[in-house]
Structure 1
Amino acid sequence: MLTAPTYRSVEGAYLALLRLASTNFEQRIDARGNAAREVTGVSFRLLDPRQRLPYLKARKANPVFQYAEALWYLAGRRDLEMIGYYAPSMRAGSADGVTLGGSAYGHTLFTPADGDTVAPFDRALDLLRTGLDSKRAYVPVFSARELEDRDNLDVACLAGLHLMERGGRLHMVCHMRANDLDCGLLSDVFSFTMIQEYASIQLGLELGPYTHTIGSAHVNDRNAERVKTVLHEADVRPNPLSFPVTSMPASTGPEVLERVLEHEEALRTNTESYSAKDIADLGIEPYWQQVIVLFEIYRQIVHDQTDAVSPDILDALDPGLRWLVEHRWVACAPTGGVGR
């Protein structure tokens, strides 16, 4: 018997939690001026964590930011130079204007702590390589030290990730101290399931279920109208959209991520521009080519100040990603940042 509601994709979980917090909320809260409706102690499970993208016109999910954030985490980075390009609003959480603190989950997971030579995430993987059925591969992210400064604007929402090998599959349980259900949940699940899939490849395991648990699950009042529109769309559409999903290539490791990030930086800094043929000739797996196509699309929007993405680039996208791009940037007009 499963202990958490199970969904085919993140979209189903997202809609269910929005309905819960909108109509059956437990209390109203107003933390730091953010009035919200809240439920506590909720969870859900995705049997196929690759189903990490929602297809809702009213929500306009942003695959450019989602892949950028996932790569930023996997690279163990904390700099605003990269992530601030895709989401300028994140700059508000920085104490020094250069780096992020608690929300730079990847830095905590993939960078060795002071005095150590092994990253916490790598240590967890080493444990799973030698200890089948282990329950100890838990990687904490939130630190009690973050609460010492009452004015800290960037306290980690992610408490930690729990990795478990069961029956040849890698399960992961994510523990969140808090989740903004409309703005943060989709990006968090996208990135964490990418991390889970990456870990499964390093361990040579099949991808198992992903479970997401939340202490404070809330919808901010300022987003209430959008939430209402999203739920109405879900209620009246004939059938949910579904697109084929692909698996992260078995060749994916630190070297592959480094190559993808080299192309990301070249496009972000506008030192390169790619046609679809250029990307196809880069010598990397088609899975990661799709991500570079997304970054080229955003380069055109930001740097070329174009009102239309190049047709060859748009045509190079898989159907699901193309649908998301077309419904987020109808005219592909320049913006100040794509945000979450």
Structure 2
Amino acid sequence: MLSLKAKTLDDLLYNVLKSLIEEGLDVNPTKGKNKEIFGACLVLENPRARLSQTESKGKAFSAIGELLWYLSGSNNLDFIEYYLTKYGDYSDDGKTIHGGYGPRFWNNNNCDNQIQNIIDLLSKKRNSRRAVIQLFDSSDLSEEYNDIPCTCTMQFVIREGALKMSVYMRSNDAYIGLPHDIFCFTMLQEIIARELGVELAEYYHFVGSLHLYDNSLKLAEGYLKEGFQSLNVEMPKIPDGSPFEQINLVLEIEKTLRDGKVIDIDNYKNLTKYWKDIVLLLQIHSKFKAKDYSSIDSLKKQLIYIDYEQIVEDKLRRIRL
């Protein structure tokens, strides 16, 4: 059993990858050879320290894109391929991703809005232990699909006025999947905490098969050589109050950008500073995809959160090398 606790995502990733390289058992399942530790408990003490500060793992754009895919309730391939092109390998019909979390969050079995259900439950019963979201379903084993959820359940509890979250995953790719999962899930944790009017507590990530594929081994070793990234850098706090009106506006803007249209962010007067930064990152991502690097500098200067600016500069530098 691997048990690790850290204040930042980078601290956690460093120790996870080091443990897998040194202690992982060589296995060869369906998707290729890997080093595996079966049974892991990873604790992120500060869920806002969810973005990697390293050169190789600074994946803010794709992580934000995946989060918005979940929040939109969509499992459409064209949405997520805009941010993560490899998702096309996991579609059964070239249009959707069977295991996409969006419909499972918002319209599970065509009747349950699971996110709203747990918000309603914890609003009425602050000490409840029943606020559980189920993503993996028994029907996922009834047929062969190219993609089924790696995440089985999410549980939310309020303790001492703060929201804790625990996630159980049947399988987790430590190099590629884990950073995205922690980003998206801790963002969901904070969104729900804001909706409930409580503070943010620790995030617990339980994994059955935690693994590192052989084809990611050299990349993981390169990440470790970047140094122990113990910078306690955290994202700003989501503003108090219900965040869903802002999220819906961001989703509307995201769709406009993904459709190849241009926006003027100054036209969106209702955006708070927090969500304006997220939209600016979406704009910058669209410019990266169009290879319009000259426009990125002016957008970058509008970012309020300085660490986002550093992430953009790092990506520009890697492209220009």
- What is residue 270 of structure 1 aligned with on the other side? 260
For normalisation by structure 1, the TM-score amounts to 0.88
Contact 1:40 1:214 in 2 (8 A): yes
Shift of 1:309: 3.9
Instruction: State yes or no: 1:200 paired with 2:177.
Output: no
Instruction: State yes or no: 1:53 paired with 2:51.
Output: yes
CA deviation string 1:50-97 (max 9, x = no partner): 11011112x242111111111211222211221111111111111111
1:18 counterpart letter in structure 2: L
CA deviation string 1:246-266 (max 9, x = no partner): 011224433221111111111
Which ranges of structure 1 fall in alignment gaps of 5 or more residues? Answer: 334-340
Deviant stretches of 4+, over 6 Å: none
Shift of 1:308: 3.5
For normalisation by structure 2, the TM-score amounts to 0.93
Instruction: State yes or no: 1:72 paired with 2:69.
Output: yes
1:313 counterpart letter in structure 2: L
- What is residue 336 of structure 1 aligned with on the other side? none
1:286 counterpart letter in structure 2: K
Contact 1:243 1:319 in 2 (8 A): no
- What is residue 254 of structure 1 aligned with on the other side? 244
1:5 counterpart letter in structure 2: L
1:54-133 matched pairs, under 5 angstroms: 54-57=52-55, 59-102=56-99, 104-114=100-110, 116=111, 118-133=112-127
CA deviation string 1:239-291 (max 9, x = no partner): 644445301122443322111111111112122144xxx34854301111111
Instruction: State yes or no: 1:155 paired with 2:152.
Output: no
Q: CA RMSD in A?
A: 2.0
Shift of 1:332: 4.8
Which of 283, 291, 298 matches 2:270? 283
The CA distance in 2 between the partners of 1:273 and 1:164, in whole Å, is 39
Contact 2:162 2:198 in 1 (8 A): yes
The CA distance in 2 between the partners of 1:140 and 1:10, in whole Å, is 25
Contact 1:75 1:106 in 2 (8 A): yes
Shift of 1:122: 1.5
Which of 113, 134, 140 matches 1:146? 140
Between stretches 250-259 and 160-169, larger displacement belongs to 250-259
Q: Secondary structure at the match of 2:28?
A: strand
- What is residue 26 of structure 2 aligned with on the other side? 28
1:138–1:301 Cα change, 3 Å = same
Contact 2:10 2:230 in 1 (8 A): no
The CA distance in 2 between the partners of 1:223 and 1:65, in whole Å, is 18
1:81 counterpart letter in structure 2: D
Contact 1:300 1:309 in 2 (8 A): yes
Instruction: State yes or no: 1:170 paired with 2:163.
Output: yes
Which of 309, 314, 319 matches 1:322? 309
CA deviation string 1:7-64 (max 9, x = no partner): 1111111111100100111x2111124110000111121222111011112x242111
Q: Percent identity?
A: 25
